Amino acid sequence: MPKNSAQYHQRATIVKIIFAVVGAVFIFRLAMLQIFDQEYKELANKQALRNLTQFPARGYIYDRNGELMVHNEAVFDLMVIPRMVKGLDTNYFCKKVGISREEFDERMKKARTYSTYSASIFMKQISMQEKAAWESSLYKFKGFYLQQRTLRIYDRPIAAHVLGYVGEVNENDLEKDPYYKRGDYIGKSGLEAAYEKELRGIKGKKVVHVDVHNREIGSYQNGLFDTLPVAGSNLYTTLDADLQEYAEKLMANKRGCVVAIEPSTGEVLALVSAPCYDPNLLVGRVRGANYQILSEDIAKPLFNRALQAAYPPGSIFKVAQSMIGLELGVIDPGTGFPCDKSLVGCHNHPSARSVQEAIKMSCNPYFYYTYKRIIQQGKFKSIYKDSQYGLTIWHDYMLRFGFGQKLPIDLPNVSKGFIPDTAFYNKWYGEGKWAFSTIYSNSIGQGEVTVVPLQMANLACIVANRGYYYTPHVVKYYGPDSLTREEFKQRHDLGIQSKYFDIAARGMYDVVHTAGGTAHRANIEDIDICGKTGTAQNKGIDHSVFVCFAPMNNPKIAVAVYVENAGAGGVWAAPIASLVIEKYIRGEVKRTEFERTYMEAAPCQRLPLVRYVKPKKK
């Protein structure tokens, strides 16, 4: 073979090898992109397909009579995929959607930080009216699209502390439950939080084709990969919406709370924490501004006093003291004690000759003696050992009443209150260095004892039922199968004889209806109210306390009222409680002048006026 021919053949071989290698590289890279590289596949799909989350309708909330309290309204989130935003007339876009250029830049930066390929929320909760104003121009904005979701609407401006509110998930929520994604909403308080899993439903998915103009042109493969959302379960609560609204009106211009329970079931009829606020203030795009205002308000409207406040119970505690004393046998129904004011201060009244009279007159020295007999029973020669023994027994009985522990109501953030035990006093004073004389203030509901208003209403239920209670709860049943929580059907017996609670009920009847009682302002013609007043000592003006139930036999309602810095229980809390009872039992209040007096009164210390951001009318 000639030399030139051999060289030509060699060069041709080299060229073929180069072409083969280049071809192999291209084929390999194409395979990597189309078969193995998931990022490329996802990007290609997103150019032609759009995965839309189908948010389920959140469950509705009803009152005990079937009145709708919370429902949903359709709103839209403007979503953005930063990688697909091209050729955007930013000034025109900002003018259309009603934001500044600075806001646009900030939101796009946040979206890119999250992901350039995945969709994130650019603008939240756009109303139907806002959407209609610029939806026809949306196709011009590549990379942007609308996604529907629902917004909570509260039909009456009531029960904010019970119903709660919904807010956007935070990092903690995302870590706890993989169900949630950024931009999702979750119950933050009240029933919305307690029944989040029942209310939220199950998200669905829809895959749609998108044309070059960013317009949806149909379902992908006839919906083969679509899943339908499952609506959340409806809640049917124990609340009486009319009674709730009425109790909130009574607590206007006041700080405190009202808790009303049906004794025979433990169903909460009304739960009010004052000051109240309209739950619609925490809905939509005004939620952030209003939440900050509410959280900074010196009157603490976000604080649920009915469940979270731990107050000195004052004289209502004497009812429990007398029941424990009777059951232990350290006193009997006819035991009398002198009203010795040198022991503990008291108002002017005759000495009580029985437990019934002591409850009626709320005699402080009587319960000083009773508590002394409970704490120092003479079981040990040492008063210190004897006091430890007695306090241990007393503490156990107080827990049976539901004090000193969380009553497991179906609402979050419930306080325990405090019932001191031997460990507490040993730590505080030193073991063997305290006795009854150190802790006697507990006898009249002062000292170290604190209780939660929910526990106070439960005390009224216990007396109404003559010695037992059902756990207070706010939801009767939920879902299409009318599911209930079994723990709310369990009866809790205190192990104290019912005959002693008959004595307490008669004494509480006398508080309201007979001469020498402390709550005549709670008297209603033809309704046998049984009640107990309390005036809880405080650093400022004393707190006004009252617990009651009615009627005396076959009770339908038990009520606890706590009005901060208002003074005597018989002057403020008792009349308010009687109005709540009259409204519930009669369906109307006939004492209109009396009603007006307590609705318009403002007995608490005045605080600055606060103004909130109002949501736009839709």
The pLDDT of residue 137 is 82
Mean pLDDT of 334-349: 92
Task: Report the range of poorest mean pLDDT among 307-316, 343-352, 549-558, 576-585.
Answer: 343-352
Cα-Cα end-to-end distance for the chain: 93
Task: Report the range of poorest mean pLDDT among 81-85, 108-112, 559-563, 606-610.
Answer: 606-610
Which DSSP helix (H) or strand (E) runs through 210?
Answer: strand 204-210
Distance CA 136, CA 130 (A): 12
| Reported confidence tier of residue 343, pLDDT bands at 50, 70, 90 | very high
The pLDDT of residue 258 is 98
Mean pLDDT of 520-542: 89
Mean pLDDT of the chain: 88
Please tell me which residue, 563 or 124, carries the higher pLDDT value: 563
Phi/psi of residue 552, nearest 5 degrees = -60, -40
Distance CA 158, CA 160 (A): 6
The pLDDT of residue 43 is 43
Look at residues 604, 569, 582, 575 and name the one whose alpha carbon lies nearest to residue 317. Answer: 569
Q: Show contacts of 164-168: CB within 8 Å, 24+ apart.
A: 164/188, 164/189, 164/190, 164/191, 164/192, 164/193, 164/194, 164/279, 165/189, 165/190, 165/192, 165/279, 165/282, 165/283, 165/287, 166/58, 166/192, 167/282, 167/287, 168/124
How far CA 170 is from CA of 87, 114, 181, 287, in Å, comes to 33, 14, 10, 15
Look at residues 58, 615, 611 and name the one whose alpha carbon lies nearest to residue 281. Answer: 615
**pLDDT for residue 131 is more than 90:** no
Distance CA 131, CA 145 (A): 11
**pLDDT for residue 423 is more than 60:** yes
**Structural contact between residues 243 and 251, judged by C-beta atoms closer than 8 angstroms:** no
Give tens-digit pLDDT for 205-263. Answer: 888 777 665 566 667 776 677 788 899 999 999 999 999 999 999 999 999 999 999 99
Q: What is the DSSP string of 451-494?
A: B-HHHHHHHHHHHHTTSEEE--BSEEEETTTTB--GGGG-EEE-
Residues 6+ apart with CB under 8 A from 183: 77, 120, 121, 124, 168, 169
Please tell me which residue, 529 or 542, carries the higher pLDDT value: 529
The pLDDT of residue 8 is 56
Q: Which residues pair with 557 in a beta bridge?
A: 550
The pLDDT of residue 126 is 84
The pLDDT of residue 540 is 75
| Reported confidence tier of residue 12, pLDDT bands at 50, 70, 90 | low
User: What is the number of alpha carbons within 13 Å of residue 561 lying toward its C-beta?
Assistant: 31
| Reported confidence tier of residue 25, pLDDT bands at 50, 70, 90 | low
235-237 and 61-62 strand pairing? parallel
Distance CA 510, CA 531 (A): 8
Tokens of residue 536, six digits: 């809880």
Mean pLDDT of 139-162: 89
The pLDDT of residue 541 is 82
Amino acid at 386: D
% of the chain at pLDDT higher than 90: 66
Distance CA 118, CA 292 (A): 31
Distance CA 383, CA 360 (A): 31
The pLDDT of residue 97 is 85
**pLDDT for residue 546 is more than 60:** yes
Look at residues 255, 236, 237, 258 and name the one whose alpha carbon lies nearest to residue 307. Answer: 258
Give tens-digit pLDDT for 451-480. Answer: 999 999 999 999 999 999 999 999 999 998
**pLDDT for residue 410 is more than 60:** yes
Say if 50-237 and 241-600 have the same CATH topology. Answer: no
Mean pLDDT of 531-556: 91
Task: Report the range of poorest mean pLDDT among 118-132, 367-381, 391-405.
Answer: 118-132
**Structural contact between residues 234 and 60, judged by C-beta atoms closer than 8 angstroms:** yes
| Helix axes 592-600 and 241-250, enclosed angle (nearest 10) | 60
The pLDDT of residue 498 is 97
Distance CA 287, CA 295 (A): 12
Look at residues 280, 59, 275, 243 and name the one whose alpha carbon lies nearest to residue 156. Answer: 280
Length of the chain: 618
The pLDDT of residue 601 is 84
8-state DSSP, 413: -
Global pTM reads 0.85
Tokens of residue 461, six digits: 């239920």
SS (H, E, C) 27-38: HHHHHHHHHHCH
CATH code, 241-600: 3.40.710.10
Give tens-digit pLDDT for 49-105. Answer: 777 778 899 999 999 999 999 999 888 889 898 988 888 999 999 988 889 999 999
Domain residue spans of the chain: 50-237, 241-600
Please tell me which residue, 217 or 447, carries the higher pLDDT value: 447
Q: What is the DSSP string of 222-269?
A: GGTT-B--BPPPPEEES--HHHHHHHHHHTTT--EEEEEEETTTTEEE
Amino acid at 265: T
Residues 6+ apart with CB under 8 A from 511: 359, 360, 362, 517, 518, 519, 530, 531, 532, 533
The pLDDT of residue 39 is 46
Q: Which fold has domain 50-237?
A: Penicillin-binding protein 2a (Domain 2) (3.90.1310)
Judge if the upstream peptide bond of residue 275 is cis by omega within 30 degrees of 0. yes
Distance CA 207, CA 220 (A): 6
Tokens of residue 116, six digits: 């350039």
Q: Specify burial of residue 598 (Cβ count, 10 A radius: 0-12, 13-18, 19+).
A: buried
**pLDDT for residue 19 is more than 80:** no
The pLDDT of residue 277 is 94
Distance CA 369, CA 317 (A): 14
**What sign has the CA pseudo-torsion 315, 316, 322, 325?**
negative
Distance CA 513, CA 507 (A): 10
Q: Which residues pair with 227 in a beta bridge?
A: 205
